[in-house]
Structure formats: structure tokens, C-alpha cells
Amino acid sequence: MNALPFDLQLLNGLAALFLLLAFAMLAQRRVVTLVNLLAWQGFLLFAATLLLAWRTHEGHMYFSALLTLALKVIFLPWLLHRLIRRLGVYWDSEPLINPAGTMLLGLLIVIFAFGLAQPIAALASTATRNAIGIAVAAVLLAFLTMITRRKAMSQVVGFLSMENGLFFGAMSATYGMPMIVELGVALDVLVAMLVLGVFFFQIREQFDSLDLAHMERLKEDD
């Protein structure tokens, strides 16, 4: 059996850590730690993109790595930490499914994700095709994180983690998207977070809390 070159081993290592972080986020209830985990996930994305850029000598990947560093490792976590301090939301309340159940569900999701990614990975010609399954799993785990949380802040972190997973997938399947698209997506994420900042303060002003349990009035059967 051929040993993989060192940089590819490193990439696979990064991918494995990426998945591990997705699981850690699924279990984490302390919002500050959740944001830190998100920043680390962003950092892994940055490191993987940089490594691939170095390996493939694709100029636009260096740029995309820098974009990731600026937006996902530095700016967004900073913004979220600031919001957490200003709003005083430190803990999420009890998740909707108990932690053990969530973890089991997470495991099933990973198996499902690898099955889903199988045909794509078989067709991919990139050196990183093994990571596609991991990216799909990370996206679905982030989705699970989102739907099992009650606090608006944790849902948003889940949303951003999903975004990270998608970029990881794009990177491992096709060495990233065209530049104009990546820029556009980054801009959208940035604007989304700014809108959200405004939005959080509006919610807090109205409800005195970011617990979404208050927001269940608009139901059909009233």
C-alpha cells in the first residue's frame, strides 16, 4: 500500500479535525465556547485552503484562504463575542433532544453523509476527494445543531458552521468556486451577520430574552 504524501496526510488530518469540531459543537451548550469552536473550524478551513493552494499553485485559492481568515476566523467570531457580551447570553437552555440521543443521531448522519458523498467522491479527480464525505457530514451535523437548539445565538452559530462545511465541500470537490461567486457568498454572509446583529437587539428589546420559546405565537391554530 502506497503511503500518501505528507501534505495530503496533513489535509486528511485537518478534515478529520473538522468533523470532530462539528461533533463538539453539537454537544456544546456554552455559547462562548460554541463561538470559539466555530472560529477553530474556520481556522481549519483556512489552513486546508492554504495547504491546497500551495499544493496546486492556484492563485485564487490563496485569495480565498485570506478571505476565510479575515471573515471566518477573525471578524465573525469577534462580532459574535461582542454580541454575546452586549446581550448577556452565555448558556443555551436544555436542547430539544437529550445529548446522548443527539450524539447517536449525529453518528447516523455521518454514515448517511458518507453514503451520499460516495458517487461524488468516485467521480472527483481532486487529491482531496476523501474529504467530500466529511464536508457533507459537517453540513448535516451543523443542520442538526441548528434544529436542536432553542437560543437564537446557537442557531446562528449552527448556520455559520453549515456555511463552513459547504466551503469545505467546495474546496475538496472542486478546489473552490469561481472567485466572483466566493466573493459574493462572503459578502452575503457578512451582510447576514450585520442584519442579524440589528435583529438581535430588536428581539431583545421586545422579549427581554433571546429564547425562541417566546416566538411561537404565529401558529395556525389560534
Partner 1 sequence: MELLALLALPLLGALLQAFFGAHRRAPLLNVVVSLATLVAAGLLAARVIREGDITAWHEQFFIDPFNVFLVALTAFVSFTTALFSRPYMLVEVDHGRLKPGQLRLYHSMYQLFIAAMLIALTSNNMGLLWVAMEAATLSTVLLVTLYRTPASLEAGWKYFILCGVGIAQALFGTILLYFAAEKVLGGEGVNALLWTQLNAVKGELEPAVLNLAFVFLLVGYGTKVGLAPLHNWLPDAHAEGPTPISAVLSGLLLNVAIYAVVRCKVLVEGSLHSALPGRMLMGFGLLSVVLAALFLWRQKDIKRMFAYSSIEHMGIVTFAFGMGGAVANFAALLHMTVHSLTKSAIFFAVGHAAQKSGTQQMDGIRGLVTISPTIGWGLMLGSLAILGLPPFGVFASEFLVLTTAMRQQPWATPILLAALGIAFAAIFRRVQPMVFGETTAKRLPHAPALLPVFAHLGLVLLLGLFIPPYLADWYRAAAQLIAGP
- Binding residues for partner 1 (CB under 8 A): 116, 119-120, 123-125, 139, 143, 146, 152, 155, 159, 162-163, 166, 169-170, 173-174, 177-178, 180-181, 184-185, 187-188, 191-192, 195-196, 198-199, 202-203, 205-207, 212, 214-218, 220-221
User: Taking the C-alpha atoms of 65, 66, 71 and 73 in order, what is their torsion angle to the nearest 10 degrees?
Assistant: 70
Residue 195 has, within 13 A of its CA and on its CB side, a CA count of 7
Q: Which is nearer to partner 1, 48 or 170 (CB)?
A: 170
**Minimal distance in Å, beta carbon 59 to partner 1?**
10
Q: Which is nearer to partner 1, 94 or 216 (CB)?
A: 216
Q: How far is the CB of 78 from partner 1 (least distance, A)?
A: 20
| DSSP symbols for 83-137 | HHHHHT--B----SS-HHHHHHHHHHHHHHHHHHHHHHHHH--STTTHHHHHHHH
Helix axes 99-123, 6-27, angle to 10 degrees: 150
Buried/exposed 92-130: b ≥16 CB within 10 Å, e otherwise:
beebeeeeeebeeebeebbeebeebbeebbeebebbbbb
If the CB atoms of residues 9 and 206 are measured against partner 1, the closer one turns out to be 206
Provide the 8-state DSSP code for 4: P
Residue 125 Cβ, how far from partner 1 at the closest point, in Å?
A: 8
Residue 213 Cβ vs partner 1, minimum distance, rounded to whole Å: 11
Please, what is the minimum distance in Å from the beta carbon of residue 6 to partner 1? 27
17 or 132: whose CB is closer to partner 1?
A: 132
Q: Give strand pairing partners of 151.
A: 211
CA distance 107 to 126: 26
Least distance from partner 1 to the Cβ atom of residue 100, Å? 25
Task: Using the minimum distance from each CB to partner 1, give the nearer residue, 13 or 184.
Answer: 184
- Cβ-based nearer residue to partner 1, 10 or 192: 192
